[in-house]
């Protein structure tokens, strides 16, 4: 679920061995009985840190042998790589009894960009491409979708600038929208918008450029230009509203005509840095070798390519199940002002318990289909070479510092401690033969084969409960009652700055 790279949290999140129990944290949030009573008399009467505070804190730390050992070791080493559990790594091996049979290649690499959601999507789609065409290695063009997404996000921001031109420039909403206006990240419904309008092409047809693999310089330039354009449109809107002879419809038309002139500059910058992409309605020819080394050729438009290789489980028929314990379950949610294609498919989530997400994943994997999912990848995990682990017991912060990390999943969302920061693909599960429940998950990442365990990670059941926020499944693999909630379309609108608006 990032503006430059998929964001990795820098702080530990919670008690390592704490279970989620029912995962219904709403009652816990309202329960104040477990709040510790603080000392009634402070050492500092004005709230600043006093020397007496330091003396008291140091006397406690100095008397603790574990803290003294931590001071000896951690002053010279990385806390995240040092305080790891060997036992946790052994307990969840990279071995799975239920996997998608087809093994794709190569392991993809988003490099210095925040395109994980586009890589996760194309990594799911390529399974069917490779099956049908009998390919040994294949990648869809992530850059192709990246171009159309960035162009549409630029247009989306300028449309929002027109829509909110009557608000003060320092209004919270206007300020928020101007902050990360064309993030590299995105959500499932946003990629469906791109696929349905622009289709898809092989990577060789529209390969990587410097600025697709390292997006920061391009983003910096585009943001500066778009913020300037937004002010231009706001000024024009003010002038038009002051002229009573101009109808609102005519004013809207004038503003959009001006916006299209401004978008020419955006298009010029993007085509110079990323290359001119294939038109979605113009045929292209792709030549390739199949797994037997035989020469083959495919001809058609990007839209035809997309439709030809997404017949089993069309992306437009898939939707997001989320686990957000702050909000009511069995309810449809959306986020205000969140999107990429103006007038396109809205971002929608059906909120439910974590167990439903896991069950849907297992059903999908057993049917031979990988799963797009969104999580907070930096929490209690390691992407180190030959490691690749996500487990709540992996980091031993509590033992080293004599602390407890007690935030619940809901509280982490409420306090900005956690959010959906990265999208990946689940391609296997290990199912307990007695209970039928998944106990660990095989995760295909997009950080190259030199990271993690040959590019893959193993995720524990407890980590899933705590840090997985979203799975995308076809309607046929979701509970019927949740499909009904989705299809009813009656969504609760969360504010634009809600953590569920985080872009993986």
Determine the pLDDT at residue 3: 40
CA-to-CA separations, 64 to 15, 55, 76, 284, in angstroms, rounded = 21, 15, 20, 69
Q: How confident is the model at residue 223 (pLDDT cuts 50, 70, 90)?
A: very high
Q: Which two tokens stand for residue 466?
A: 């705590």
- As a whole number, the mean pLDDT across the chain is 93
The string over 8-47, giving b where at least 16 C-beta atoms fall within 10 Å of a residue's C-beta and e elsewhere, is: ebeebbbbbebebeebebeeeeeeeeeeeeeeeeeeeeee
Nearest CA to 411 out of 20, 12, 27, 29 is that of 29
**pLDDT above 50 (res 421):** yes
Please report the pLDDT score of residue 14 as a whole number.
39
User: For residue 375, what are its two tokens?
Assistant: 């999580």
Quick one: pLDDT at residue 221?
A: 98
Question: Residue 34: pLDDT above 70?
Answer: no
pLDDT for 26 equals 58
Checking if the pLDDT of 73 tops 60, the result is yes
pLDDT digits 0-9 by tens, 334-387: 999 999 999 999 999 999 999 999 999 999 999 999 999 999 999 999 999 999
Predicted confidence band at 21 (pLDDT cuts at 50, 70, 90)?
Answer: very low
Q: Which of 149, 151, 104 is nearest to 128 (CA)?
A: 104
Q: What pLDDT does 8 receive?
A: 41
User: What pLDDT band is residue 31 in, cutting at 50, 70 and 90?
Assistant: low
Active-site residue flag, 76: no
Tell me the per-residue pLDDT of 295-311, one tens digit each, with 9 for 90 and over.
999 999 999 999 999 99
User: What pLDDT is stored for residue 169 in this prediction?
Assistant: 97
Say which of 422, 430, 452, 474 is annotated catalytic: 422
Q: What is the dihedral of CA 153, 157, 160, 162, to 10 degrees?
A: -130
Is 474 annotated in the active site? Answer: no
pLDDT score, position 27: 58
Tens-place pLDDT, residues 48-60? 999 999 999 999 9
3-state SS class at 426: strand
> Alpha-carbon distance 412 to 417, whole Å?
5
Rounded-to-integer distance, Cα 322 and Cα 372, Å: 12
pTM, entire model = 0.93
Average pLDDT over residues 120-128: 98
SS3 (DSSP) at 322: strand
Closest Cα partner for 1 from 382, 294, 338, 396?
338
Determine the straight-line distance between the first and last CA of the chain, rounded to whole angstroms: 1
- pLDDT of res. 40: 84
445 is a catalytic site residue: yes
Q: Is the pLDDT confidence value at 438 over 70?
A: yes
From the list 170, 156, 426, 200, the residue with the least C-alpha distance to 314 is 200
Rg (CA), the chain: 25
Residue 129 in tokens: 């491409």
Cα distance between residue 462 and residue 355, in whole Å: 11
- Summarised one tens digit per residue, pLDDT across range 443-499 is 999 999 999 999 999 999 999 999 999 999 999 999 999 999 999 999 999 999 999
How many Cβ atoms sit within 10 Å of the Cβ of residue 132?
A: 12
How many Cβ atoms from other residues are within 10 Å of residue 484's Cβ? 13
Short-list 129, 189, 119, 200, CA closest to 472:
189
Looking at the chain, the whole-number percentage of residues with pLDDT higher than 90 is 92
Residue 25: the pLDDT is 56
Is beta strand 284-289 parallel, antiparallel or unpaired with respect to 295-300? Answer: antiparallel
Give the whole-angstrom CA distance, residue 277 versus residue 254. 29
């Amino acid at each position: 679920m990032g503006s430059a790279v998929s964001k990795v949290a820098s702080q530990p999140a919670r008690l390592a061995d704490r279970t989620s129990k029912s995962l219904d944290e709403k009652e816990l949030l309202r329960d104040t009985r477990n709040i510790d009573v603080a000392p009634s008399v402070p050492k500092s009467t004005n709230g600043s840190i006093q020397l007496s505070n330091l003396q008291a804190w140091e006397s406690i730390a100095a008397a603790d042998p574990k803290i003294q050992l931590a001071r000896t070791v951690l002053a010279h080493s990385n806390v995240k790589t040092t305080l790891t559990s060997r036992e946790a790594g052994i307990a969840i091996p990279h071995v799975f009894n239920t996997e998608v049979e087809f093994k794709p290649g190569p392991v993809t690499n988003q490099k210095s960009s925040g395109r994980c959601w586009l890589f996760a999507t194309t990594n799911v789609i390529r399974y069917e491409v490779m099956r049908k065409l009998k390919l040994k290695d294949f990648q869809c063009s992530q850059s192709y979708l990246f171009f159309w997404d960035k162009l549409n996000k630029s247009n989306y921001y300028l449309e929002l600038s027109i829509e909110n031109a009557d608000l003060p420039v320092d209004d919270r909403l206007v300020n928020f929208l101007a902050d990360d206006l064309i993030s590299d990240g995105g959500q499932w419904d946003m990629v469906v918008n791109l696929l349905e309008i622009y289709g898809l092409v092989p990577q060789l047809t529209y390969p990587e450029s410097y600025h697709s693999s390292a997006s920061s310089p391009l983003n910096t330039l585009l943001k500066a230009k778009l913020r300037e354009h937004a002010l231009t449109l706001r000024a024009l809107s003010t002038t038009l509203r002051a002229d009573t002879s101009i109808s609102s419809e005519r004013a809207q038309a004038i503003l959009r005509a001006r916006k299209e002139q401004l978008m020419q500059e955006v298009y010029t910058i993007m085509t110079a840095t990323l290359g001119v992409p294939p038109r979605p309605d113009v045929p292209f020819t792709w030549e390739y070798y199949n797994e037997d080394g035989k020469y083959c050729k495919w001809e058609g438009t990007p839209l035809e390519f997309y439709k030809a290789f997404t017949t089993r489980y069309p992306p437009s028929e898939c939707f997001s199940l989320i686990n957000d314990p702050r909000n009511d379950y069995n309810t449809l949610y959306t986020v205000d002002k969140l999107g990429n294609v103006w007038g396109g498919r809205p971002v929608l989530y059906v909120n439910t318990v974590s167990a439903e997400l896991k069950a849907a994943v297992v059903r999908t994997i057993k049917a031979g289909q990988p799963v797009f999912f969104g999580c907070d990848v930096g929490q209690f995990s390691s992407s180190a070479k030959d490691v690749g682990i996500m487990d709540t017991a992996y980091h031993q912060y509590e033992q080293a510092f004599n602390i407890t990390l007690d935030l619940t999943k809901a509280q982490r969302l409420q306090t900005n401690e956690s959010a959906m920061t990265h999208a990946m693909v689940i391609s296997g599960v290990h199912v307990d033969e007695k209970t039928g429940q998944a106990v660990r998950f095989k995760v295909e990442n997009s950080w190259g084969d030199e990271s993690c365990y040959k590019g893959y990670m193993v995720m524990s059941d407890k980590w899933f409960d705590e840090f997985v926020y979203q799975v995308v499944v076809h309607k046929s693999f979701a509970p019927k009652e949740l499909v009904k909630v989705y299809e009813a379309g009656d969504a609760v609108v969360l504010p634009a700055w809600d953590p569920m608006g985080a872009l993986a």
